[in-house]
Amino acid sequence: MTGFDWFPLWLSLRVAATATLLILLTGVPLAWLLARHHFPGRDLLGSLTSMPLVLPPTVLGYYLLVALGRQSPLGRWLEAAGLPLVFTWRGAVIAASVAAFPLMVETARAGFEGVDPRLEQVARTLGRSNLYIFWRVTLPLAWPGILAGTALTFARALGDFGATLMVAGNIPGRTQTMSIYIYDLIQANRLAEANSVVLLMTVVAVGLLLVGRYTARRALR
Amino acid sequence: MLDIRIQKRLKSFTLDIDLHLPPGLTALFGRSGAGKSMTLSCIAGLSRPDAGRIVVGGRVFFDHRLGINLPPQQRRLGYVLQDYLLFPHLSVAENIAFGLAGRSREEKKAVVQDLLARMELSGLENRRPAELSGGQQQRVALARALATRPQVLLLDEPFSALDGPTRARLRRDLRRLRQEFNLTILLVTHNLSEAYLLADRIAVMEAGQVLQVDPPEAVVHHPHSRQVAELTGARNFFTGVITAHTDTDTRLRVGQMELAAPRLNAAIGARVELAVRPERIMLIRKDVRIGPRENQVVGQIVEELTDGFNYTLFFRLDEGQRLSESSYDLEIVLPAYVYERLGVHRDHRWAATIKREAIQILGLSGIQREAVGR
C-alpha cells in the first residue's frame, strides 16, 4: 500500500459534485414542469428524460461520444472554443450528469406531485405572486423529494463507469475516476489496493445514503 | 353585489348559472356534483368559465366577450375549503400572515394577534397545523382568509369535515364574523339545515342549474318545482286536478280523494303537481274523541323506519281514499316522542289528517299563487 493514489477519489468527488450541481439547476425545474404543467409532448419529454435509466451505460456513452466528439459540429465548436469534452474531466461530468439526470427528475417530480395543488390555489387567492408561492409553498413542501433526488444523483454520478469510460477515457491523473481505478487495480491483480478502494467507496456511499435519509426525514417534519 | 352569469361545459352537464346576489349570506345548496363548488371556483378565478360575466362589488372579474379574466390574486376574495388547506410547514401565525404582502413586521403581528384573539386561537400561534384539532384548523383557515380584509368570503363546505358540536360552534362563529367584518358570503353546502340556519337566501342548484333563489323559509315551504321540493325534504308527490274554489281553499282531486289545499289562482280543471311534506301529516289520537279533521284519511302502516330521533311510516290508505296506485300512499315522519306518546307500535290501523299547509303546489307555470311567500 505504498504511494496510495488519492487522485481518483478527489476526481470522482469533484465530478459527482459538479454533475449534481448541474442536475439540480436543470433537473428540478424540469421536474416541476413535468409535475405541474400539461403541455403537448409532456409524456414524450418524460420518457426521453428516463432514457438513460434503461440504456446500457456504454450505449449512452457511445451516443455522447458521437455527439460531442470531433466528428460532430458541436464537438468541433467546443474544441475551437477551447472547451473540449472528450477525454477530459469535463467529459466525465457530462457523462455522469446524463447518467444520473433521470434519478433527480423522477424523484423531484414525485416530490412536486406530492404537493397538493390546491395549496397553491389557496395561496393565489391570498394575493401572492406565483413566484412567491413557488418559493414559500411548493419548493419547501417538495424539498424532501429534491433532497432524496440529490443524494441518489450524487451516488449515481460518483459511481458511473460505462458512460464515463466511453467519453472521458481512462487517463491516470486526468480522467481516471474511482470506479475506473478499481477496474484497473483488479486488472493488474493489485487486490489489496482494490480492497481498500472498494471499502472506501462503500463507506462514502453508505454515508451519503444515511445523510440523505436523515435530512429528508428532518425536512419532512 | 355579485353578478354571476356563466356557462361552463363539464363532464356530465353544462354549468349554466345566472345569479344576482345582494350583500348578505347566500347558500348554494344542492347535492354533491351539482356544480356548486365549480361555481365558487369560477368566482375565485381558479377555474375559467367558457362564457359569461362575473362582476363582484362593481369590479369585473371575468368577461368572456371583453376578454377579461382577472387572476385570483387580483380578485381579493376570501376562499375557505372543507379540508382547510393550511400550509403544513408554516406555523399558525405564518399561515394567517401569508396574504399580508408589503406590510411591516409590526403590522403583520398586529393583524395576526387581532385575528388570533377573535378566533380564540391565542397561544397557538407557534403550532403547526398538524398539531391542531379540526375545528382549530378551520378557524385558522378562516383567519387566514380574513387577514387581507376581503369583502366577499367564499366558503366551500367549510364545516362538513367537523363533528357535530364543533360544527355548531363554527356556525355561531361565522354568524358573528359576518357582522364584525361586514362580509358578503357565498356558502356552498349540501346540508339543508346548515343553509337554513345561516343563510339570508338559498340558491338551490341541480345539475349545473340554479332552480330557485329565495329566503330559506320560502325555499322549504314554497318550492317552485319537484326537484326543489325533493331536495328540501318533501316526499309524497302526486298529480291533481282542480275541482273547485272556496273563499279559503282550493279543492283538488287526487287519486280517489278530494283534498283541501291552500287557495290557488288557477282555473278549474287545471292539472297541478303537488307534494305533501311528510312531517306535516298528523296521526289522530285514539284516546280522545274529536270531530272530523281536514283531509282526514284512514289506512294502515305497512312499514316503518327510525333513526332514533324520528320515525318514518309508510302509510297505505283504505280503498276509496287511495292517492296513488303504489304499495303505499303517504310517507309520514313523526318525532320519536310523539310516536311513543301515541303508542303507534300498538296498532297498524290509524286515522290521519293531511294539514292544508302540508300540501305544496309545484311547477305552476303561468299560474299565479295567491298570497304566498314571506
User: Which residues of B fall within a CB distance of 8 Å from A132?
Assistant: 101
User: Which residues of A fall within a CB distance of 8 Å from B140?
Assistant: none
User: Which residues of B fall within a CB distance of 8 Å from A122?
Assistant: 79, 81, 85
The band of B322, judged by pLDDT with boundaries at 50, 70 and 90, is very high
Rounded to whole angstroms, the Cα distance separating B1 from B24 reads 9
Interface with chain A: mutation pick from B70, B73, B138, highest number of A CBs within 10 Å: B73
Percentages helix, strand, coil for chain A (3-state, rounded to 5) are 80, 0, 20
Domain membership of residue B79 (yes or no) is: yes
Q: Which one has a higher pLDDT value, B285 or B255?
A: B255
Domain membership of residue A19 (yes or no) is: yes
Tell if the CB–CB gap between A124 and B46 is shorter than 8 Å: yes
Instruction: Name which of B71, B79, B88 is nearest A122 (Cβ-Cβ).
Output: B79
Q: What is the pLDDT of residues B161-178, one digit of tens each?
A: 888 888 888 888 898 999
Question: B329 CB contacts (<8 Å, ≥6 apart)?
Answer: B236, B255, B299, B315, B316, B317, B322, B323
User: Same domain, yes or no, for B245 and B355?
Assistant: yes
Q: Which amino acid is at B163?
A: D
* Grid coordinates of B73: 390574486
The band of A213, judged by pLDDT with boundaries at 50, 70 and 90, is confident
Query: Residue B184: is it exposed, middle or buried by C-beta count within 10 angstroms (0-12/13-18/19+)?
Result: buried
Tell if the CB–CB gap between A129 and B77 is shorter than 8 Å: no
Average pLDDT for A156-181: 92
Count of domains in chain B?
Answer: 2
Tell if the CB–CB gap between A127 and B73 is shorter than 8 Å: yes
Q: What's chain B's average pLDDT?
A: 91
Domain membership of residue B374 (yes or no) is: no
User: Same domain, yes or no, for B138 and B245?
Assistant: no
Lowest mean pLDDT among B41-55, B68-82, B154-168: B154-168
Interface with chain A: mutation pick from B85, B86, B108, B149, highest number of A CBs within 10 Å: B85
Domain membership of residue A66 (yes or no) is: no
User: Which residues of A fall within a CB distance of 8 Å from B72?
Assistant: 121, 124-125
* Grid coordinates of B58: 362593481
Q: Which of B178, B209, B226 is the last residue of a domain?
A: B226
Q: Which of B206, B226, B246 is the last residue of a domain?
A: B226
Rounded to whole angstroms, the Cα distance separating B259 from B294 reads 8
Q: What is the pLDDT of residues B3-34, one digit of tens each?
A: 999 999 999 999 999 999 999 999 999 999 89
Determine the pLDDT at residue A220.
60
User: Same domain, yes or no, for B111 and B253?
Assistant: no
The band of A19, judged by pLDDT with boundaries at 50, 70 and 90, is very high
Q: What's chain A's average pLDDT?
A: 91
User: Same domain, yes or no, for B306 and B263?
Assistant: yes
String of DSSP letters for B296-332? EEEEEEEEEEE-SSEEEEEEEEPTTS-S-SSS-SEEE
Tell if the CB–CB gap between B79 and A128 is shorter than 8 Å: no
Domain membership of residue A82 (yes or no) is: no
For B125, phi and psi rounded to 5 degrees? -60, -25
Rounded to whole angstroms, the Cα distance separating A137 from A135 reads 6
User: Same domain, yes or no, for B108 and B35?
Assistant: yes
Tell if the CB–CB gap between B73 and A118 is shorter than 8 Å: no
Domain membership of residue A99 (yes or no) is: yes
User: Same domain, yes or no, for B203 and B250?
Assistant: no
Determine the pLDDT at residue B374.
31
User: Which residues of B fall within a CB distance of 8 Å from A121?
Assistant: 46, 72
Determine the pLDDT at residue B363.
65
Count of domains in chain A?
Answer: 1
Rounded to whole angstroms, the Cα distance separating B38 from B191 reads 17
Tell if the CB–CB gap between A121 and B101 is shorter than 8 Å: no
Residue range(s) defining the domain that contains residue A201: 7-56+87-220
Instruction: Name which of B44, B75, B98 is nearest A123 (Cβ-Cβ).
Output: B98
Instruction: State ipTM.
Output: 0.82
> Is the CB of A124 inside 8 Å of chain B's CB atoms?
yes
Exposure string of B129-139, with b = 16+ CB inside 10 Å and e = fewer, is beebebbbbbb
Q: What is the pLDDT of residues A75-90, one digit of tens each?
A: 899 888 888 888 999 9
Q: Is the pLDDT of residue B365 over 90?
A: no
Rounded to whole angstroms, the Cα distance separating B213 from A125 reads 27
Tell if the CB–CB gap between B73 and A121 is shorter than 8 Å: no
Instruction: Name which of A122, A128, A140 is nearest B85 (Cβ-Cβ).
Output: A122
Percent of chain A past pLDDT 70, that is, above it, reads 97
Rounded to whole angstroms, the Cα distance separating A164 from B127 reads 49
- List the one residue out of A150, A139, A140, A141 whose CA is nearest residue A212: A150
For B206, phi and psi rounded to 5 degrees? -155, 130
Q: Is the pLDDT of residue B312 over 60?
A: yes
Length of chain B (residues) = 374
Residue range(s) defining the domain that contains residue B152: 2-226
Residue pairs spanning A and B at CB distance below 8 A:
49
User: Which residues of A fall within a CB distance of 8 Å from B145?
Assistant: 125-126
Identify the CATH number of the domain in which residue A173 sits: 1.10.3720.10
Q: How distant is the alpha carbon of residue A9 from its chain centre?
A: 17
Interface of B with A (CB under 8 A): 44-46, 71-79, 81, 85, 87-89, 98-99, 101, 144-145, 148
Tell if the CB–CB gap between B85 and A118 is shorter than 8 Å: yes
Lowest mean pLDDT among A125-129, B61-65, B89-93, B220-224: B220-224
Identify the CATH number of the domain in which residue B68 sits: 3.40.50.300
The band of B358, judged by pLDDT with boundaries at 50, 70 and 90, is confident
State which residue of chain A sits closest to B70, comparing Cα positions: A125
Determine the pLDDT at residue A52.
93
For A14, phi and psi rounded to 5 degrees? -65, -45
Domain membership of residue A16 (yes or no) is: yes
Q: Which of B226, B256, B274 is the last residue of a domain?
A: B226
Determine the pLDDT at residue A128.
95
Tell if the CB–CB gap between B46 and A141 is shorter than 8 Å: no
The band of B356, judged by pLDDT with boundaries at 50, 70 and 90, is confident
Determine the pLDDT at residue B164.
84
User: Same domain, yes or no, for B326 and B353?
Assistant: yes
State which residue of chain A sits closest to B131, comparing Cα positions: A221
User: Same domain, yes or no, for B95 and B197?
Assistant: yes
Tell if the CB–CB gap between A127 and B81 is shorter than 8 Å: no
Q: Which amino acid is at B139?
A: R
Instruction: Name which of B45, B46, B144 is nearest A126 (Cβ-Cβ).
Output: B144
> Is the CB of A125 inside 8 Å of chain B's CB atoms?
yes
Domain membership of residue A203 (yes or no) is: yes
User: Same domain, yes or no, for B113 and B23?
Assistant: yes
Domain membership of residue A15 (yes or no) is: yes
Closest-CA distance, B97 to chain A, in angstroms, reads: 10
Determine the pLDDT at residue B147.
96
State which residue of chain B sits closest to A141, comparing Cα positions: B89
Instruction: Name which of A127, A136, A140 is nearest B148 (Cβ-Cβ).
Output: A127
User: Same domain, yes or no, for B110 and B191?
Assistant: yes
User: Same domain, yes or no, for B97 and B220?
Assistant: yes
Residue with grid cell 379540526, as numbered in its chain: B134
> Is the CB of A116 inside 8 Å of chain B's CB atoms?
yes
Tell if the CB–CB gap between A123 and B76 is shorter than 8 Å: no
Q: Is the pLDDT of residue A1 over 50?
A: no
Determine the pLDDT at residue A5.
81
> Is the CB of A36 inside 8 Å of chain B's CB atoms?
no
**From residue B157, how far is each of A119, B28, B59 by CA, in Å?**
17, 10, 26
Domain membership of residue B198 (yes or no) is: yes
Instruction: Name which of B44, B78, B101 is nearest A128 (Cβ-Cβ).
Output: B101
